Structure 1
């Protein structure tokens, strides 16, 4: 079995595929669920996709060629699984029920200020979720997951200029949606 030599990458040394999978799940599990949620907008479905992602990682671990980081590889698998789900007939027949809780923790504010800030963040994220998938995915990866344009372009197999264009179009569309929803401010 050819498990990646992680000593040179500053990562723990792995003995078995199970060790690698355990580490990947601990390191990237929450990020995979969050990313999946941004596509499917349902917590349970995002968790199911996360399981599928890590099963796929396990089966294809020997094929990992070290051309990218584990993070980029796992994000790419997640994006593909999400797109597969969105194209599936069963997904198109499921009603959206869950709402995303606030992703950010804020500093010390009064209860009223905190409540208003939480409502604004939730409304902004709801507007992000209403963007077309091509714009939504780059907005979420750039702003919420804090990935670089280069990482996003590798993950989505796009040119960097395409990612920049989608970011610009996404910000413009989000600004329009926010103004339409009565939320003022700059994106």
Structure 2
């Protein structure tokens, strides 16, 4: 869905432009809100905070639609905004000191209570260890493993070289595994 805003010059057309922005925003929200919320949750590990961040993302998106330069696709642009909002959030709050909740959406309901408990503890430990990684490793791991982005998409989103993404992914994974093994963690990634 491409909208060429330069085609609007009269007041009637400007009104249509505002309508187009709203239509585009609604489309972007339907298309990407769930994925962006998951990304925000992986950064913050808090559902209500991730919802607040996504609201900020779409407010920022709406305010800046006219500035979108089509140098990337909307998903990459929104992902970059989300990451920046998450970084701002982490700078303002001491999230690292919180006890992390398990990734409940990864646990199957038919698992036994024992498996559920073990998975819950493993999830807590993995999230804790991810949160302790340096920011450059954490964001690449989150985008790759939890947001299912390719290395090329991560490169475009973060504005870094493809080889840098590969290097950070490998180093981050190794650091995470080392931390998990050092903590006598029995789970695997």
TM-score (ref. length: structure 2): 0.79
In structure 2, runs of 5+ residues without a counterpart are: 5-18
Report the counterpart of residue 11 of structure 1 in structure 2: none
Report what 2:156 is aligned to: 154
Answer 1 or 2: which has greater helix percent.
Answer: 2
Alpha-carbon spacing, 1:86–1:93, altered in 2? closer, same or farther (3 Å) = closer
Count matched residues. 175
Q: Of 161, 164, 167, which aligns to 1:165?
A: 167
Provide the residue aligned with 2:65 in structure 1.
61
**Partner deviation per Cα, 1:16-71 (whole Å, 9 max, x = no partner):** 21121112122221222222233333333222221111011111112223332211
Partners of 2:171 and 2:96 lie apart in 1 by: 29
1:83 aligns to 2:81 (yes or no): no
Task: Select between 140-149 and 127-136 the one with higher mean Cα deviation.
Answer: 127-136
Structure 1 gap segments, 5+ residues each: 7-14
> How well do the aligned residues superpose, as a CA RMSD in angstroms?
2.7
Q: Aligned to 1:51, which of 47, 50, 55? A: 55
State yes or no: 1:180 paired with 2:178: no
Quote the Cα distance in structure 2 between the aligned partners of 1:112 and 1:105.
12
Q: Which has the larger radius of gyration?
A: 2
Q: Quick one: structure 1 residues 181 and 140, their matched pair in 2 at CA, closer, same or farther if it must change by over 3 Å? A: same
- Of 11, 26, 30, the match for 1:26: 30
The alpha carbon displacement at 1:139 in A equals 0.4
Measured in 2, the distance between the counterparts of 1:127 and 1:95 equals 12
Match of 1:4 in 2: 2
CA distance in 2, matches of 1:109, 1:94: 30
Please say which of residues 63-72 and 73-82 is displaced more in the overlay.
63-72
CA contact (8 A) 2:122 2:187 kept: no
Q: What is the aligned partner in structure 2 of residue 132 from structure 1?
A: 134
Q: Name 2:41's counterpart in structure 1.
A: 37
> Conserved in 2, the CA contact under 8 Å of 1:72 and 1:154?
yes
